[in-house]
Amino acid sequence: MINKLTDNHSLLVTMEENVLSGGFGEHVSAFVKGESLDIDVMTVGIPDAYVEHGSVSELKKLLGIDADTVANLTHHAFFNLGGHDSGNTADHTLMIAAEYYTPVHCPKSIPTGEYAPVEGTPFDFRTAKKIGLEIDADFEQLTFTGGYDHNFVLRGEGMRDVAVLKSEKTGIVMTTRTTQPGVQVYTGNFLDGTVKGKKGIVYPQRASVCLETQHYPDSPNKKHWPSVVLEPGKTYTSHCIFKFGVIK
């Protein structure tokens, strides 16, 4: 189903009347070698996107346009630092440098436009805690999405550390660095055991975590949020680094 925006442009509708996880095709492969993780990423359709091999994986996306264009690109990798066949990620610890998150008004994950404080809620990851600690709490925002599927308003500006994910099983740590103002945290709530991965392993609910650095979702309809409009003659640049290490 295609949703026409103008006579010349269209977007793929992926969730009823909304565009969710749309974009160009991409292929990701990852290999564990001893205590290091090598990642290869190929993104189709965006020039100059690349990843450096080794313990640091960097994504840079550049886009030149000739008319005002809404541009909010991200990377939707799924991570399970315990191994792809280790079950869910409830025992992973997560730290997010954010005092606020953007609540949603329905299960479709469309933000209300508010900045809600994380303090005193299951969304407080300012100090590292296990993802599974409060994911099933009786809290409306978690009920809407069956777990975490929300944007966090990141502290600071420029390239900086914004999140740290760690597996208690393996000691593997992933530090996320970005230039973006937000990160969408998705805990694989809609995985249902039907998706098969390497060696035929099926992935159960919450078998992985996504840390999608980006501008806030639905920004074009929230005029008080940072703009995602790219003007002609300007270049879109976004950096995200996933840095891996091992703490024993």
Catalytic residue numbers read: 76, 212
CB 98 within 8 A of CB 125: yes
Contacts of 39 (CB under 8 A, 6+ apart): 28, 29, 30, 31, 51, 53, 57, 242
The distance between the two most distant Cα atoms of the chain, rounded to a whole number of Å, is 57
Contacts of 134 (CB under 8 A, 6+ apart): 122, 142
CB 37 within 8 A of CB 172: yes
